[in-house]
Amino acid sequence: MAAATAAAGRAGLGFLRGLRLPGPAAVRGLRAGGGCLRQQEFTSLEEKPQFPGASAVFIDRLEFIQPNVISGIPIYRVMDRQGQIVNPSEDPQISQEEVLKFYKSMTLLNTMDRILYESQRQGRISFYMTNYGEEGTHVGSVAALDDTDLVFGQYREAGVLMHRGYPLDMFMAQCYGNASDPGKGRQMPVHYGCKDLNFVTISSPLATQIPQAVGAAYAFKQANTNRVVICYFGEGTSSEGDAHAGFNFAATLECPVIFFCRNNGYAISTPTSEQYRGDGIAARGPGYGIQSIRVDGNDVFAVYNATKEARRRAVAENQPFLIEAMTYRIGHHSTSDDSSAYRSVDEVNYWDKQDHPISRLRHYMVTRNWWDEEQEKSWRKKSRKRVMEALEEAERKLKPKPQLLFSDVYNEMPWHIAKQQTALERHLKQYGDHYPLDHYEK
């Protein structure tokens, strides 16, 4: 909308679209309005469209293109719900050790989710968002990347960090905003970021990361780094204007970026039927000239295979790829949401009990005798203990010193902010009793 207005405005000032025409003669011709507009005769009998905006043939019947939403883009799957490989030629043949790591990342995230969710319910942290049901999309995708590939996320991709080895202490430090938080306690919980693990700090405004990821990918291409950028977002976020911007820029500027959409059926309370009427998100990719695929997001191997191939081609061909992982948001949107207000418990239970990425991978492992009930029990116990220890330690720590509310606004501290910092310090000297100073470092 804005763009159209812009174009109209420019035309009004004399910045005519004519600028884009081949040459000044064309503009003058149009303006003169005279004989220049007369059409030259074609010498060839074969009439081909000459429009610069599309490469297509003429058609002599009136026909609107129908969107195909009943039979949409198929969902790529490698293993079934019982963990059986459907088509052996698609088996990624991941080693036992690696698969075990997949499983442990997913379940450790699940354990952390349960404990932090509870801790929010008890008022120990202010906010939390779980990853229930989407653990497979995180781990499967990040495992297919190089560690140096840059990740831009939305907020429900903690598994990506977990799989890259982000310590539990640091997850907790961020949620508690304690003195160990590299983010210095400034953002709400689950807004993680890690420079060393190439995970760009999360922010709340949806979709803003999408065109940013494209810019980063362009810079990588320029620097010849053989790195890709992966950008995660939900299906709701895909409705934002920034999603449109990002997809289009990535295609026209030929950027090595993987767009990874987690389509979990809901944006808070809004079902996909109120989010879009096309064939999900994957169907939009081709409209932008982007190679696109839809995968079963509860199948960690399907996610892995799609991401692996997208990565390989994105780097080699400098072009974007779109992966839409179909999944289901099993948990509430966040701790500020009760999802039973807009969807049935039966629906949730189906996905939790019968089609869950963790249980599916467990079936796979059990079939191969890589895992058993005993190991499951001991791992659960161990992971729970680790999470609890990290939580208790995080809770014991002081918050960072209040002065940290003033730094990093700019690279340097301008006079007016320095003055405000001094003013607060002076204020606290006199009125410190009325502030929670004991909980903060000095």
Partner 1 sequence: MALAGLGLRRAAVSTLRLRLATGSPPRRRAAHFSFQPDPEPTQYGQTQKMNLFQSITSALDNALSRDPTAVIFGEDVSFGGVFRCTVGLRDKFGKDRVFNTPLCEQGIVGFGIGIAVTGATAIAEIQFADYIYPAFDQIVNEAAKYRYRSGDLFNCGSLTIRAPWGCVGHGALYHSQSPEAFFAHCPGLKIVVPRGPIEAKGLLLSCIEDKNPCIFFEPKIMYRAAVEQVPVEPYSIPLSQAEVLQDGSDVTLVAWGTQVHIIKEVAVMAQEKLGVSCEIIDLKTILPWDAETVCKSVAKTGRLLITHEAPVTGGFASEISSTVQEECFLNLEAPITRVCGYDTPFPHIFEPFYIPDKWKCYDAVRKMINY
Active site residues: 118, 204, 333-334
**CA distance linking residue 44 with residue 408, whole number of Å:** 67
Neighbours of 52 (CB within 10 A): 8
Judge contact between 267 and 259, C-beta under 8 A: no
Among 94, 100, 179, 417, binds partner 1 (CB under 8 A): 417
Q: Give residue for tokens 């190439």.
A: 198
Total residues binding partner 1 (CB under 8 A) = 66
Comparison of 64 and 410: residue with beta carbon closer to partner 1? 410
CA distances from 71 to 66, 86, 91 (A): 12, 21, 26
CA-to-CA distance for 339 and 269, rounded, in angstroms?
7
The answer to whether the CB of 250 falls within 8 A of the CB of 228 is no
Task: Report the nearest approach of partner 1 to the CB of residue 278 (Å).
Answer: 20
- Does 14 participate in binding partner 1 (rule CB under 8 A)? yes
Stretch of 15-23, 46-54, 97-105, 325-333 contacting partner 1, by CB under 8 A: 15-23
Q: Is 412 in the site for partner 1 (CB under 8 A)?
A: yes
Distances 56 to 20, 44, 48, 310 between C-alpha atoms, Å: 21, 18, 8, 28
Question: Minimum distance from CB of 255 to partner 1 (Å)?
Answer: 9
Instruction: Give min distance, CB of 62 to partner 1, in A.
Output: 30
- Verify binding: residue 290, partner 1, rule CB under 8 A: no
Residue 223 CB, nearest distance to partner 1 (Å)? 7
Minimum distance from CB of 184 to partner 1 (Å)? 4
Task: Give the contact letters, 122-161, x = binds to partner 1 (CB under 8 A), - = no.
Answer: ----------------------------x-x---------
Torsion of CA 311, 313, 317, 322, to 10 degrees: -70
Task: Note whether 338 binds partner 1 by CB under 8 A.
Answer: no
Residues pairing with 291 in the sheet: 321
Which residue, 3 or 341, is less far from partner 1 as judged by CB?
3
Residue 384 binding partner 1, by CB under 8 A: no
Residue from 19, 36, 69, 86 in contact with partner 1 (CB under 8 A): 19
Closest by CA to 261, choosing from 319, 326, 317, is 326
Measured from the CB atom, the residue of 214 and 387 that comes closer to partner 1 is: 214
Spatial separation of the C-alpha atoms in residues 169 and 393, rounded to whole Å: 8
The answer to whether residue 241 forms part of the interface with partner 1 (CB under 8 A) is yes
Structure tokens at 327: 């999944």
| Pairwise CA distance, residues 128 & 171, whole Å | 11
| Structure tokens belonging to residue 7 | 């174009």
Write down the least CB distance from residue 321 to partner 1, Å: 17
Candidate ranges 17-25, 270-278, 293-301, 357-365; the one touching partner 1 (CB under 8 A): 17-25
Q: Binders of partner 1 among 171-230, rule CB under 8 A?
A: 181-184, 186-187, 191, 193-195, 200-201, 203, 205, 208, 210-220, 222-223, 229
For residue 324, CA distances in Å to 185, 231, 308 come to 33, 12, 14
**The tokens of 324 are what?**
């839409």
β-bridge partners, 226: none
Among 30, 75, 179, 253, binds partner 1 (CB under 8 A): 253
Smallest distance, partner 1 to C-beta of residue 6, A = 5
| Gyration radius of the chain over CA positions | 26
Q: Considering beta carbons, is residue 27 or 75 the nearer one to partner 1?
A: 27
Give the shortest CB-129-to-partner 1 separation in angstroms: 17
8 Å CB contact between 281 and 337: no
Task: Outline where DSSP puts E strands in 162-240.
Answer: 229-234
Answer for the pair 328, 265: CB distance below 8 angstroms, yes or no.
Answer: yes
By CB under 8 A, name the one of 68, 82, 84, 252 that touches partner 1.
Answer: 252
Q: Give 210 or 302: the residue with its C-beta nearer to partner 1.
A: 210
Joined together, the tokens standing for residue 326 give: 């179909």
Residues forming the site for partner 1 (CB under 8 A) = 2-3, 5-7, 9-10, 12-16, 18-19, 24, 27, 150, 152, 181-184, 186-187, 191, 193-195, 200-201, 203, 205, 208, 210-220, 222-223, 229, 241-242, 244-246, 248-249, 252-253, 407-412, 414-417
